[in-house]
Structure 1
Amino acid sequence: MSEENELTFEQAMYKLEQIVEKLEDGDVPLEEAIAFYKQGMDLSRLCHQKLKTVEEQLTEILREDGELESFIVQEEE
């Protein structure tokens, strides 16, 4: 998993998409499909963590005076 932690978000998503395509084809032996599924779950977790980190960084903005201020995005209903 240490190699996966060094992946960028885009690299992890690309690998995840490749795994999904292989599993959707259905031509994968069961044992290999399970290994792909586990790897896909690890990649999914990594992507989620990276997105959460970015989201946390974006919740604060720098004001003109250099102070950090919380930033809340109003979601459309």
Structure 2
Amino acid sequence: MATKKNHRLSFDAILDELETIVHRLENGSVSLEDALQSFEQGVHLVRAGQHKLEQAEQKIQILLTQSGDVEQLSSFYPTQGEE
């Protein structure tokens, strides 16, 4: 399944694949079926990328907890009003 393959890609490779899909779709020279297939592939890639980001966040939390610097993690997230 394409989803399993996407999870094996690096985060940068996922972004590259998404960029390729966007350019292909923006070009407008693909058939409707190909566009739908590319869109579906893009959705799977986005989910795989989100999963990789969540994993990275968990690793950061673990490392900061182990080092006692948990407060530093809050600097990754904007406070309300800073968004």
State the alpha-carbon separation in 1 of the partners of residues 61 and 6 from structure 2: 26
What TM-score do you get using the length of structure 1 for normalisation? 0.81
The match for 1:22 is 24
Q: What is the RMSD computed on CA atoms of the aligned residues? A: 1.8
CA distance in 2 between partners of 1:16 and 1:3 (Å): 14
Q: TM-score, normalised by structure 2?
A: 0.76
Equivalent position of 1:51 in the other structure: 53
Structure 2 distance, partners of 1:48, 1:30, is: 27
- CA distance in 1 between partners of 2:17 and 2:70 (Å): 34
The higher relative CO (CA closer than 8 Å, separation ≥ 6) is in: 2
Distance 1:3 1:10 in 2: 14
- CA positional deviation for 1:55: 1.1
Count of residues in correspondence between the two structures:
73
Give identity over the alignment, percent: 29
Query: Counterpart of 1:28 in 2: which secondary structure?
Result: coil
Gaps of 5+ in 2: none
- Which structure features the higher share of strand residues? 1
Task: Please state which structure has a larger fraction of its residues in helix.
Answer: 2
- Give the equivalent residue in structure 1 for 2:37: 35
1:2-13 mapped onto 2 (5 Å cutoff): 2-13=4-15
Give the gaps of 5 or more residues in structure 1: none
